[in-house]
Amino acid sequence: MKQSPKWSWGTRRWEYFIPPVLLALLLILVWYGVHYFALADHRKIILPPPHSIFTDAFFSGSDITRIKDGLLATSYLAFVGLVIAMVLGISIALIMNLSKTTERAIFPWAVVLQVIPIFALIPVIDVWFKNVDIWFLGFDVEFKKRLIVCVLIALFPIIVNTHFGLKSIDRNLHDLFTLHRVRRVKRFARLEFKAALPSIFVGLRIAAGLSVIGAIIAEYTFSRGGTKGIGTLIRRYSGLAQYSELIATILVSCALGVVIFWGMTYIGTRLTKHWHTSAQDLPA
- The answer to whether residues 119 and 199 belong to one domain is yes
Residue 76, pLDDT score? 93
pLDDT recorded at residue 1: 45
Tell me: do 15 and 97 sit in the same domain.
no
Verify that 203 and 144 share a domain, yes or no. yes
Is 91 found in the same domain as 73? yes
- Whether 181 and 231 map to the same domain: the answer is yes
Q: Would 123 be classed as within a structural domain? A: yes
Task: Give the residue with greater pLDDT, 42 vs 64.
Answer: 64
- 152 and 24 both lie in a single domain: no
38 and 66 belong to one structural domain: no
Residues 136, 201, single domain; the answer is yes
Q: What confidence score (pLDDT) does residue 271 get?
A: 81
> What pLDDT is attached to residue 48?
86
- Is residue 214 included in any domain, yes or no? yes
Q: Quick check: is 28 in a domain?
A: yes
Q: Which is higher by pLDDT, 126 or 155? A: 155
Residues 23 and 96 in one domain: no
Domain count, the chain: 2
Q: Is residue 99 part of a domain?
A: yes
Q: Is the pLDDT of residue 9 over 50?
A: no
| Residue 1, domain member (yes or no) | no
Q: What domain range is 166 assigned to?
A: 56-279
Q: What is the pLDDT of residue 7?
A: 46
CATH number at residue 157: 1.10.3720.10
For residue 33, tell me if it sits in a domain: yes
Higher-scoring residue by pLDDT: 98, 179: 98
Could you tell me if 43 and 62 lie in one domain? Answer: no
Q: Is residue 3 part of a domain?
A: no
The reported pTM is 0.80
Q: Are residues 115 and 39 in the same domain?
A: no
pLDDT in tens, 180-226: 666 666 666 666 777 788 888 899 999 999 999 999 999 888 876 56
Looking at the fold, whether 31 and 137 belong to one and the same domain comes out as no
| DSSP per-residue codes, the chain | -PPPPPPPHHHHHHHHTHHHHHHHHHHHHHHHHIIIIIS-GGGGGGS--HHHHIIIIIT-HHHHHHHHHHHHHHHHHHHHHHHHHHHHHHHHHHHHTT-HHHHHHHHHHHHHHHHS-HHHHHHHHHHHSTT-TTSSTTS-HHHHHHHHHHHHHHHHHHHHHHHHHHHTS-HHHHHHHHHTT--HHHHIIIIIHHHHHHHHHHHHHHHHHHHHHHHHHHHHHS--SS--SHHHHHHHHHHTT-HHHHHHHHHHHHHHHHHHHHHHHHHHHHHHTTT-GGGTTS--
